[in-house]
Amino acid sequence: MKTGLVSLFIFFHLLSISSAEMSSKVGICYGQLGSNLPSPPESAKLIKSVKAARVKIYDANPDILKSFKNTGIQVSIMVPNEIINNISSNGSLADQWVRTNVLPHYRYTKIRYLLVGNEILSIPDNITWSNLVPAMRKIRSSLKALGIRKIKVGTPLAMDVLQSSFPPSNGTFRSDISGSVMKPMLQFLNRTKSFFFLDAYTYFPWSSDPKNINLDYALLESRNITYTDPVTNLAYTNLFDQMIDAVIFAMKRLGYPNIRIFIGETGWPNGGDFDQIGANIYNAATYNRNIVKKLTSKPSIGTPARPGWVLPSFVFSLFNENQKPGPGTERHFGLFYPNGSKVYEIDLSGETSEEEYKKKPLPKPTNNELYKGKIWCVAAKGANRSELASALSYACTQGNKTCDPIQPGKACSKPDSLVWHASYAFSSYWAQFKRLGGTCYFNKLATQTIKDPSYGSCKFPSVTL
């Protein structure tokens, strides 16, 4: 009898070790907001080439799901933001979505995670906020009704769900969502043994405060920098652990100290605009190699608040996606260029040694300090003329006499060219509104330059960093 109990204990112990090893493997986010991206089968080969154990897609694209058929790679799919409100109050719609997007693939493709929406609580939309957890419940009920029991339901959230994150022990959810959204969500995740999917990027807090946050600390590269939380006395050696633990303490504050965290996205940009510090290949490779090493360590390292806990994860992202809106960094998180070539060497299994990586040296970073000089915003080469005309009109109607100098007879009216006028308008708009959140983007029609486009008596306004 005693021998039987020991054997049973050993069996379950080995089983738990095995599942921990499986869940500690790193995956990749496969976004599709790019032109001329490789086909799903070609992309699947690239994903295998970096030894990703999981893949996360931002929809339920059937061609992508078919490309992972019988590969053993775990797949995460997503319910689009736009249908959350409808699904939240309509079980039939949820059933239909699952029957259409999950059921045909579930037998052959290892779908294991179903995410409802993408960073919903970062979008100023109170109606969808209140419908998020009901939609998650409806989707899970639909899965159960169809006999699908291996898929965990969650939703990815960004760090901005926190009202306070420093020190980590002071982690607190925002007051506008804490009781109304987070508490019922945590209750759902706890009851269903699912994960808190967290998108955690050390790049953003570092780049917004590079004077006070050490770069090596953000890159998980520091050897002698330690921050000690004054309340818990927990010692931190990198910014990533601080961010994760802030969320852990926020959950604990609401009465849920043990919900597992799944890193839904993490990464570092390999390029960006002139005004974006530290976005380069060297830092991107350094961060991703270090985070993979940490996440795949055996035994698992965890974080100071949860030592030894496994952190399953997805690195963002597979490709540099040139159609993503926003600052230049948004289009430069990929491990691969759209032509399928590697941006830098990376192995998501964590098996490649530092010595092996050093055989292919990385380009030295040139923008780890803020650019000191003038930057202009001009029309991008090859911009669509009708779209450019609309963007010019928009820039000129935002007030502050943005476009007065390009009016007939004024200093910048000549040459009478759409590209010239748009370039002036973009520079003038950006110079005036950058501090209020204005960007040099204009739906891909504009680009930054450090070469002064001024000509003759026409002086282009600039942004000075």
Residues with a known catalytic role: 119, 265
Residue 326 CA from chain centroid, whole number: 13
* Burial of 87 per CB tally in 10 Å (0-12, 13-18, 19+): buried
List of residues 6+ apart from 253 with CB closer than 8 A: 171, 172, 173
Question: CA 127, CA 394: separation in Å to the nearest integer?
Answer: 29
Question: CA 50, CA 250: separation in Å to the nearest integer?
Answer: 34
CB-based contact 53:313 (threshold 8 Å): no
- DSSP letter for each residue of 287-313: HHHHHHHHHT-SS--EETTEET----E
Return the sign of the alpha-carbon dihedral for residues 77, 81, 83, 87: positive
Helices of type H across 24-58: 40-49
CB-based contact 66:109 (threshold 8 Å): yes
- Tokens of residue 302, six digits: 């965890």
- DSSP letter for each residue of 118-158: SSGGGSS-HHHHHHHHHHHHHHHHHHHHTT--SPEEE-EEE
- Tokens of residue 10, six digits: 């050993």
Q: How many secondary structure helices (H) and strands (E) does the chain include? A: 15, 18
Question: What is the DSSP code (8-state) at residue 232?
Answer: T
